[in-house]
A and B are shown apart, each in its own frame.
Chain A
């Protein structure tokens, strides 16, 4: 009985706790410096000030795809190996995919309203990103309302979602596109490019931090459940 109580809070947990605060400080500092960099970056001609949304919009999509990828890989482990830890990571990653995707989906239309005149234009990138975002929202809905055993089911959904990425992109792209070509990034002048990649690193760092925090929450919840079960014995 006491073994259960003692196992709560292992060495790895304590290490993670120690790393969390400094990591958070680092990311917050990067955030602050990032804002300085963004303000200093030269203004682009055709789109003007509103182009600065780019520094948050694109990196948050990077983070979303990192989260989506994580969820897909973790789901493979859930399905093939049935590991609980993989399932926690998959859930956390799916939540983060929804959060970062939401940032991208709101900043995109805000940029579009100013730059193209309309909030939504069924442009290829934004639409395919919307579809991917919907798949992860569906993942979360399944986890919440599917009842027992939905871990494996949602793992299948995540895997299918991952496999779908090229198809969604091709079909929506063939359907229509007005989005700036991806070649925008390499043609950026060094100052802008530096700021851009700084923001990418910052967002990825943010993603990793939030993922770690969320996984920790799930882990503690699982320990709590295990404790409750042990008491009932």
Chain B
């Protein structure tokens, strides 16, 4: 039993050492690629020229609509299923009590 424990301890130490080695080695070697310039931080809306392209409103409304539909759809489905299970539970318990002790 103690041999197993020793083996386990050695295994844990080795894996932790490897983990730490990996943690230190990987970020060092991966510094290479620089990502393209993403927008940094926040810039307040001044009077910027209105851009041509796609109207933003449908996207925003669409996004919020999707979030609402999914959340409330899920809530509703739980509600339905819960109702069904509760009804069946009540039904079966009634049958059990009616059947008396067996």
Direct contact of A and B (CB under 8 A): yes
> Interface residues, chain A, CB within 8 Å of chain B?
1-2, 4-5, 8, 42-50, 52-53, 56-57, 60, 95-96, 99, 102-103, 106-107, 110-111, 113-114, 117, 170, 174, 176-181, 183-184, 187-189, 192, 206, 210, 213-214, 216-217, 220-221, 223-224, 227-228, 230-231
Known contacts A187-B42, A206-B71; decide if A8 and B89 are in contact (CB<8 Å): yes
Shortest Cβ distance from A48 into B: residue:
B56
Contact of A99 among B38, B39, B74, B96 (CB under 8 A): B74
Q: Is the CB of B63 within 8 A of A107?
A: yes
Distance between A59 CB and nearest chain B CB, rounded to angstroms: 10
Q: Which secondary structure dominates chain A's binding surface?
A: helix
Residue contact A216 to B54, C-beta cutoff 8 Å: no
Residues of B within 8 A of A206 (CB): 71
Residue of B nearest to A55 (CB): B64
Number of B interface residues at 8 Å Cβ cutoff, please give it: 47
Measured CB to CB, the nearest residue on chain B to A217 is B82
Residue contact B82 to A216, C-beta cutoff 8 Å? yes
Given contacts A60-B67, A170-B26, A213-B75, contact A178 B38 (CB under 8 A): yes
| Nearest opposing residue in chain A for B100, CB measure | A1
Given A48-B56, A56-B64, A99-B71, A213-B82 contact (CB < 8 Å): yes
Given contacts A2-B96, A206-B71, contact A42 B63 (CB under 8 A): no
8 Å CB contact of B96 from A5, A106, A188: A5
Given the known inter-chain contacts A60-B67, A217-B85, please indicate yes or no for A210 contacting B74, CB distance below 8 A: yes
A107 → chain B, closest Cβ, in Å? Answer: 4
Q: Smallest distance from the beta carbon of A64 to chain B beta carbons, Å?
A: 12
Interface string of B63-77 (1 = CB under 8 A from A): 110110011001100
CB–CB B62/A189 < 8 A: no
Question: Across the interface, do B38 and A179 meet the contact criterion of CB distance under 8 Å?
Answer: yes
A44 is contacted by which of B26, B44, B71, B95 (Cβ under 8 Å)? Answer: B44
Determine whether the beta carbon of B70 is less than 8 Å from that of A220: no
The answer to whether A50 and B56 have CB atoms under 8 Å apart is: yes
- Contact of A187 with B40 in the complex, beta carbons under 8 Å: yes
Q: For window 35-52 of chain B, which residues contact chain A by CB distance below 8 Å?
A: 35-36, 38-46, 48, 51
